[in-house]
Amino acid sequence: MRLIEIYKCLCDETRLRILHLLSHRPLCVCHFQAILRAPQVKISKHLAYLRERGLVHTRREGAWIVYALPANPPPELAENMRCLQDCCREQTVFTADLRRMVKALASCSGPLAECCAPAPKRRGRKTAHA
């Protein structure tokens, strides 16, 4: 892993927030949506960017994709993640993300993907057209 690729990944607030959350535990896209209060498209774009550069790995749980940091990160990534953790302790955006993560996962007792059940479909009213 090239150091420049790591720093390109770290130069975006959303990607920093994602990496910070993943340093605590694996998460699904739906969790990132709730925690970061961002649309699925934005979250997925940043996760793809990180995955393509080897900063996150994925695994499938049923219909869901769970994102995690690499089990054995290269030394450059591990060192930068330690630095990120030190910097995040005092930043309110990161501490607020952690509080929302705890709340989002409070009802999770089984596999992570079980917390991601799709919302019930809403039945729309049929309208008459002239």
Question: Where are the chain's structural domains?
Answer: 3-105
Tell me what pLDDT residue 119 has. 47
| Contact yes or no for 111/49 (Cβ under 8 A) | no
| Contact yes or no for 30/38 (Cβ under 8 A) | no
What is d(CA 45, CA 61) in angstroms, rounded to the nearest whole number?
20
Tell me what pLDDT residue 55 has. 92
Asked whether the predicted pLDDT for residue 9 surpasses 50, the reply is yes
Residues 46-100: pLDDT tens digits? Answer: 999 999 999 999 999 888 899 999 999 888 888 989 999 898 888 999 999 999 9
SS3 28: strand
pTM score > 0.95 for this model?
Answer: no
Asked whether the predicted pLDDT for residue 130 surpasses 50, the reply is no
Pick the CATH number of 3-105 from 3.30.450.20, 1.10.10.10, 1.10.260.40, 3.30.360.10: 1.10.10.10
